[in-house]
């Protein structure tokens, strides 16, 4: 566990690294501090690769994330259009572990500057962010709320991606809004079906349509 002073120093180093690269017009972060972070990330990835259990991998990522928090904060605060593969990887790990607010903060920064995920990720950033958050919303122990899903949609509005991926986001939104806003939920589920005929939402659409029709027939209580 690092001390507050160490975390502050790391945040300042990250800011300085990103700012220096941005001032020099560099597209990629460089420098000894960044190289040390990359080396740590490579070692942690090896530890993750040694695990076969997805649950165990997620628990290890959750344990490791605080060790990167100061660096990520410094880079995001510098707000420079500089590619940092450490920060990009932590975005994905944050979604994996349910740290959605952190993922959205990093995602907003990266999307603002048109930054990319590391080359070994097969999907681009907008597609990955939408699909991973939507998938996370459908898992047991879901930690994703409707406001966060709406933010993902706003952040990636206009970004090109497969219709099936965008459908997943609308499905997740529809399911999350069923209780508080059935009419809005229905709209999202219908949009999910438009984008992907195999979205698996027809039953929920039928339920909501009946619920809304019944509500319309019910006289108001005086």
- Residue at 102 is within a domain: yes
**Domain range spanning residue 202?**
146-222
pLDDT in the model for residue 55: 94
When computed from its CA atoms, the radius of gyration of the chain, rounded to whole angstroms, is 20
Secondary structure of 69-123 in the HEC alphabet? HHHHHHHHHHCCCCECHHHHHHHHHHHHCCCHHHHHHHHHHHHHCCCCCCCCCCC
CB 209 within 8 A of CB 189: no
Same domain, 64 and 114: yes
Q: At what angle do helices 125-137 and 85-96 cross, to 10 degrees?
A: 20
DSSP-based helix, strand, coil % in the chain, nearest 5: 70, 0, 30
CB 193 within 8 A of CB 168: no
Same domain, 71 and 169: no
Backbone angles phi, psi at 159, to 5 degrees: -80, 140
pLDDT in the model for residue 222: 59
- Up-side HSE of residue 201: CA atoms within 13 Å toward CB? 30
Same domain, 107 and 158: no
Note down pLDDT in tens along the chain; length 222 residues: 678 899 999 999 999 999 998 888 778 888 999 999 999 999 999 999 999 999 999 999 999 999 999 999 999 999 999 999 999 999 999 999 999 999 999 999 999 999 999 988 989 999 999 999 999 999 888 889 999 999 999 999 999 999 999 999 999 999 999 999 999 999 999 999 999 999 999 999 999 999 999 988 866 655
What is the total count of domains within the chain?
A: 2
**Residue 109 CB contacts under 8 Å (≥ 6 apart), including other chains:** 75, 76, 79, 115
Same domain, 117 and 159: no
- Residue at 135 is within a domain: no
Question: CA-to-CA distance for 117 and 88, rounded, in angstroms?
Answer: 6
Backbone angles phi, psi at 83, to 5 degrees: -70, 125
pLDDT in the model for residue 24: 81
Same domain, 115 and 213: no
pLDDT in the model for residue 141: 81
């Amino acid at each position: 566990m690092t001390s507050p002073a160490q975390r502050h120093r790391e945040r300042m180093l990250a800011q300085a690294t990103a700012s220096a690269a941005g001032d020099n017009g560099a597209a990629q972060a460089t420098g000894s501090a960044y190289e040390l972070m990359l080396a740590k990330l490579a070692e942690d990835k090896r530890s993750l690769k040694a695990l076969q259990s997805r649950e165990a991998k997620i628990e290890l990522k959750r344990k490791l994330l605080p060790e990167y928090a100061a660096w990520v904060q410094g880079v995001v605060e510098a707000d420079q259009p500089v590619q940092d593969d450490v920060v990009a990887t932590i975005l994905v790990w944050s979604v994996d572990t349910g740290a959605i607010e952190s993922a959205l903060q990093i995602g907003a920064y990266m999307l603002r500057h048109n930054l990319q995920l590391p080359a070994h990720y097969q999907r681009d950033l907008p597609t990955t962010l939408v699909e991973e958050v939507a998938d996370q919303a459908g898992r047991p122990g879901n930690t994703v709320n409707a406001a966060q899903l709406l933010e993902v949609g706003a952040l990636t509005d206009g970004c090109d991606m497969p219709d099936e991926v965008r459908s997943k986001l609308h499905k997740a939104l529809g399911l999350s809004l069923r209780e508080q806003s059935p009419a809005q939920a229905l709209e999202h589920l219908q949009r999910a079906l438009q984008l992907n005929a195999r979205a698996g939402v027809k039953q929920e659409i039928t339920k909501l349509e009946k619920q809304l029709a019944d509500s319309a027939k019910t006289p108001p209580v005086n």
